[in-house]
Amino acid sequence: MTQLIGDRLVVAGQTDVGCVRTLNEDCYLIDDRTGLLLVADGMGGHEAGEVASARVVELMRNSLASALNSPLPQQTLPTQASGSIEHDPDLPTLDDLPNPVTHMVRHAIVAANADVNRTNQDKGFENGTGMGTTLVGLWLPPFSDHPVVFHVGDSRLYRYRKQQLVQVTRDHSMYQQWLAMGKKGPRPAQNILLQAIGPAKNLTPDVHLLEMVSGDVILLCSDGLHGMVGQDVLSRTLDKADPNNLDRIAKELIELAKAGGGKDNVTLIVGMFIK
């Protein structure tokens, strides 16, 4: 079923256990009240990856819903009564001040990590072990001109515009680091993550604003999709998207992942900006 986020974005989501796993540790959220889209890929197997993904999705929704009901932080700059401004180099400029929307998202992720990590500690897991989850999201609050894109781990967000597919997020993985370093040394496995929500006390989420225009198609997905389906196939499939067929596009992407082997749970949200 498609849903409308504000008056700008139409979306649909699906999840599937895949062809190999017996347990679906993925979780996704489409919340039209907060304008929030999330895909979380739980990890831990017997250590309750499905609990971590569901818990983080719940915590993120509650935190950002609460932020919507709170006044935005006031940012002030020094002024003079005479009307001119002499900037003190020790005081912040507008460019130095944090964007309140990205600050809200970053705070929510850090708080969710602390919650899951505390559960791991209570169960006796050492730092860096226990249940965890990746997370990719897009938040379109009514007071922001541009959506916020954020992620931890290797779940991804793509943007398809004018027949060009762009991977907006950059995987927090050993493989991605190896690519960035010029492929020096042995090639690591693609599924070794540098960070996820839950196992470690500290993490550094990527959070930024992203300009979207009418006609842009977005895809949020777990590695159960992008690990099974090449970007050329993703491009051809998203090229067929329109506001009326997103459910069908989501189903087609799931089936493509399963046809490619379906070695992991497959979860995605596909959407189109209509204004």
Query: How many structural domains are present in the chain?
Result: 1
- Spell out the per-residue pLDDT of the chain, length 275, in tens: 899 999 999 999 999 999 999 999 999 999 999 999 999 999 976 568 999 999 999 999 999 999 888 765 544 333 333 343 344 555 444 445 567 899 999 999 999 999 999 999 999 999 999 999 999 999 999 888 899 999 999 999 999 999 999 999 999 999 899 989 899 999 999 889 999 999 999 999 999 999 999 999 999 999 999 999 999 999 999 999 999 999 999 999 999 999 999 999 999 999 999 99
Helix H or strand E segment including 4: strand 3-5
User: Residue 77 falls within a domain, yes or no?
Assistant: no
- Contact 212/273 with Cβ under 8 angstroms? yes
CB-based contact 109:197 (threshold 8 Å): yes
Structural domain span for residue 253: 3-70+92-273
**Residue 29 belongs to some domain of the structure:** yes
Q: Does 176 fall in a domain?
A: yes
111: in domain: yes
Residue carrying structure tokens 């050993």: 174
CATH of the domain at 50: 3.60.40.10
pTM above 0.75, yes or no: yes
Helix/strand/coil for 55: helix
Residue 28 belongs to a domain:
yes
